[in-house]
């Protein structure tokens, strides 16, 4: 008899599924292999892309906390997001300056 790694109830050595909690357990030479956890919804790629498009660099901590992503990918995405954010801010400031200059000319007449 072994203990279920999920509910700690005694189960048979050859059990594939715990009869108490219903979790699937696979015995590998006497050791139990836990089934891999599902990826949390906020670590999924479409959610991260949506966050980057809506809040920009504020979504970077989620990228860095996402398990299974290599450090190289994290660094590349971080640099790209920061560069795009810089140019977006510069373009926004220039657009605001142009609008202010336009309205100053309009108020002279």
Same domain, 46 and 22: no
Same domain, 32 and 58: no
Beta strands in 1-109 (DSSP E): 2-3, 10-11, 26-28, 31-33
Same domain, 16 and 45: no
Q: What is the pLDDT of residue 84?
A: 93
Provide the residue range defining the domain that includes 9. Answer: 1-36
CA 89 to chain centre: 24
Same domain, 103 and 66: yes
Same domain, 15 and 48: no
The string of pLDDT tens digits covering residues 24-63 is 776 555 555 555 567 788 888 888 889 888 898 999 999 8
Same domain, 48 and 77: yes
Number of domains in the chain: 2
- Distance in angstroms (rounded) separating the CA atoms of residues 17 and 71: 36
Same domain, 104 and 55: yes
């Amino acid at each position: 008899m072994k203990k279920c790694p999920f509910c700690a109830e005694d189960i048979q050595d050859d059990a594939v599924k715990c009869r108490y909690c219903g979790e699937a357990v696979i015995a590998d030479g006497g050791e139990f292999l836990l089934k891999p956890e599902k990826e949390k919804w906020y670590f999924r790629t479409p959610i991260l892309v949506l966050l980057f498009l809506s809040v920009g660099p504020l979504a970077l901590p989620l990228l860095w906390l996402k398990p299974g992503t290599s450090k190289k990918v994290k660094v590349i995405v971080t640099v790209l997001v920061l560069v795009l954010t810089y140019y977006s801010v510069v373009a926004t400031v220039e657009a605001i300056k142009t609008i202010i200059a336009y309205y100053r000319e309009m108020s002279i007449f």
